[in-house]
Chain A
Amino acid sequence: MENKLVVSPSPHIHSGDTIEKNMYGVLVALIPAFLVALYVFRLDALIITALAVLFCVAFEYLIVKYIIKKTPTVLDGSAIITGVLLAFNVPSNLPVWILALGCLFAIGVVKLSFGGLGNNIFNPAIAGRIFLLISFPAQMTLWPAPDIAGAVDAVTSATVLGNLKSNPELLPSLQTMFFGTEAGSIGEMSALALLLGLGWLLWKKVITWHIPVSIMATVAIFTGIIYIFNPIPLYHPLIHLFSGGLMLGAVFMATDYVTSPMTKKGMLIYGVGIGFITVAIRLWGAYPEGVSFAILLMNAFTPLINNYTTPKRFGEVVKHG
């Protein structure tokens, strides 16, 4: 008996939290948005999402096993999330070969070439989406009209943000944007569904409020100030909050553990940065949408932010006794 005793330093118990639990927690939070996507785009949403997941998992498995020559850990859930998020960021009628290229870029270049989960600098899904947007601008901005009536979606239409600058008279109501039946990428339909996901993530303590709230608050305040002086739809804060990839980005993409800051102060700086860049691109940039560029840029600043922010130290809190 005595020879079998394990001797190790404390602590001798563990919370039981695992990488898998956190990753699958994110996937559960994506369910409401996925259901809305199924309702709006029917089978197309299912096919694109399923294929993206399949591609990401397969690429990760093959690259880790045959090129890096290590034991693949594809079931930790991170490749599945990348697949789902990339699918949520593309139009539902994207050609499959383009989707496959995006997955290969996200997993092979952005994630694994840096050392895999935990070591990548940029969020794989965001970088994958931008790679596709720059490489295939036509296919990536051809939005099928929402298929609510069940009709074959032959018509393509512009997104809310696309119309904001050119034809504001074509804007859907705020209600439509909130519940989600406007044109756009698969996962960005309903702000409500994404907010439900945010609620779940906060409740399960997968993420903290700092990043999503600071992004949304910055966007609302920034556009709101301009709207006070110039009340046209282009500057309406609620339109900016509920349209495009803002909710999806703020809740699911910007909060990626690996590529976002680790201190609370850092998270706020990062969120405010994303909010500012997003609004700047949307209002004055060449692209109608700026969330993914904003996140990618702030990803690059994350190591710097981590370096210059420290947690609130014990002993530095103001006395109140």
Chain B
Amino acid sequence: MLKTFRIGGIHPKEQKVSAGNAIQPIAIPNQVIIPLAQHIGAPCQPVVKKGDTVKVGTLIGKSVGFVSANIHSSVSGTVLKLDKTMDASGYRRDAVFIKVEGDEWEESIDRSPDLKKECNLSPGEILDKIAAAGIVGMGGATFPTHVKLTPPPGSRPEILIINGVECEPWLTSDHRLMMERTEEIMVGTTIVMKALNVDKAIIGIENNKKDAIEKFGKCAEAYPGISVEALKVQYPQGGEKQLIDALIGRQVPSGALPISVGAVVQNVGTVLAIYEAVQKNKPLVERVVTVTGKDVKLPCNILSRVGIPAANLIDAAGGLPETTGKIVSGGPMMGKALASIDVPVTKGTSGILLIPTLEAKRKAMKDCIRCAKCISVCPMGLNPTLLMNLTEFEVWDQAEKHRIADCIECGSCSYTCPADRPLLDHIRLGKGRVNTIIRNRKTNA
């Protein structure tokens, strides 16, 4: 029996059509737009102005506040302007527009392909390098990595968990990274273990990526303390709390962080970025993006610089299909529908999914028939239909009591509902309100 998490879960059609296609770079366009908010937390302060020349890796946005991450230029050229651009959520946000000239990198960056295993830095130095490189969680949450690797006082990490689950249907970018950058991810893992001062790490990979499991299994023999675990295919196993439960059988209590059960989770893409930052001085300026969908001619995995518009990636995948009705940044379960095809790739863009018009619209919602299927699939053990009702009637104290704040927004409830009820839409709204109420209570107390 393969391991998996113990509460709820669904198994949507996997649709990993681009799994076999090697990562390919995409040509850099004449202009890139680099948003100054690519992470959870405070947006960056721009440190360049119109007319400045930049290289690949030049700092253009400095992190302000504790939860924030530096932003670097992903191209070489001249700063055209600082202006607003639309982000994946549809908001207009500050961004740096850069006119591309050549492809010149900062001298400090080691661009050789050689594997560099030795790392003699102290944990503090490693964290400083990660912070300087502007690394964020690349599984989609975009939480600044150096913050996550700094355990709050009084807590002690025991185990590092590497997330190679990629449970979203369609997405294959992590899968390709695991196949093509195996050894570097391994070294990255040892670096994170050193930074956290733990001697044990588990790499969790779902069983639909047998080639990656095998490759990591062989590779791990040379790395003491690191083991590889195949997991039963089950969504949302890539959720931090679900993955910890699946791998070490510990459940993070309501409202607590994974560190409360001694675990720290990092995505494989993040670990690779950490390797590059620490060993090669390379800031986070590019990432792998899966471009895929039912009618996409050439589903592929593209190595894209940050700031390249989605439109360019779609062109590289054979162009925008006539049938397209929705463009999603990320996976189909948790991704964001884009309002414009010109939204740039950011640090958190794991995929661009083109959904045909026929499947883009939702069906009309019917009355709840109380079948309780939303309850059986909820991985947090919540009652989604109750939470939707409580939100509709604005009964916030009850919503809080029924743990609306625990919702991880995986979408399993809406996905499953036979009456097509928009459960997660409501719960998301209610969760926002309840979190505000909880915050206010804390500050007033």
Contacts and interface: CB of A to CB of B under 8 A. Distances in A.
Interface of A: 1-2, 4-15, 17-19, 21-22, 73, 115-119, 208, 257-258, 260, 262-264, 310-317, 319-321
Given A118-B419, A321-B248, A8 B380 contact: no
Contacts of A319: 249-251
Nearest to A20: B418
B381 A311 contact: yes
23 contacts: A2-B341, A8-B337, A9-B424, A10-B330, A11-B412, A12-B326, A12-B332, A12-B360, A14-B414, A15-B415, A15-B416, A19-B369, A21-B418, A22-B418, A118-B368, A262-B370, A311-B375, A313-B381, A314-B245, A314-B252, A314-B379, A315-B253, A321-B248
Secondary structure dominating the interface of B: loop
B428 A313 contact: no
B367 A262 contact: no
A81 to B, nearest CB: 12
Looking at chain B, what size class is its interface with the partner chain?
Answer: 35 or more
B402 A310 contact: yes
Q: Closest 4 CB pairs between A and B? A: A11-B411, A321-B249, A118-B367, A262-B372
Contacts of B418: 17-19, 21-22
Contacts of A260: 370
A320 B359 CA distance: 42
B362 A313 contact: no
A116 B417 CA distance: 18
Contact of A311 (B333, B341, B361, B383): B383
A9 B88 CA distance: 12
B121 interface: no
B333 A13 contact: yes
Secondary structure dominating the interface of A: loop
Contact of A263 (B248, B333, B363, B383): B383
Nearest to A19: B418
Interface stretch (B6-14, B188-196, B272-280): B6-14
B340 A2 contact: yes
Interface in B310-338: 320, 324-328, 330, 332-338
Given A11-B415, A19-B418, A312-B381, A118 B370 contact: yes
Contacts of A8: 326, 337, 362
B376 interface: yes
A14 B420 contact: yes
A11 B372 contact: no
Contact of A17 (B245, B328, B340, B416): B416
Contacts of B336: 10
B385 interface: yes
Contacts of A119: 367
Interface of B: 6-7, 10, 12, 90, 169, 241, 245, 248-254, 256, 320, 324-328, 330, 332-341, 353, 355, 357, 359-363, 366-373, 375-376, 378-383, 385, 402-403, 406, 409, 411-412, 414-420, 422, 424-425, 428
A10 B422 CA distance: 10
A10 B362 CA distance: 11
A12 B355 contact: yes
Contacts of A7: 90, 326, 337-339
Contact of A5 (B335, B337, B411, B412): B337
A77 to B, nearest CB: 11
Contact of A19 (B250, B332, B338, B366): B366
A262 B419 contact: no
A14 B414 CA distance: 7
Given A12-B355, A13-B12, A13-B333, A208 B360 contact: no
B241 A314 contact: yes
A320 B249 contact: yes
Nearest to B169: A13
Contact of A22 (B12, B253, B324, B371): B371
A1 B155 CA distance: 52
Contacts of B402: 310
Nearest to A118: B367
A179 B370 CA distance: 33
Given A2-B341, A312-B381, A11 B325 contact: no
Nearest to A321: B249
Contacts of A1: 320, 324, 341
- Of A115, A118, A119, A208, chain B has the most CB atoms within 10 Å of the CB of A118
Nearest to B412: A11
B375 A314 contact: no
A208 B371 CA distance: 10
A7 B254 CA distance: 32
B431 to A, nearest CB: 12
Contact of A313 (B340, B355, B403): B403
B383 A316 contact: no
- Of A118, A263, A314, A319, chain B has the most CB atoms within 10 Å of the CB of A314
B332 A13 contact: yes
Given A17-B373, A312-B381, A6 B325 contact: yes
A262 B389 CA distance: 14
Contacts of A312: 7, 381
Contacts of A4: 325, 357
A258 B381 contact: no
Contacts of B416: 15, 17
Given A311-B375, A321-B249, A11 B334 contact: yes
Contacts of A19: 366, 369, 418-419
B360 A6 contact: yes
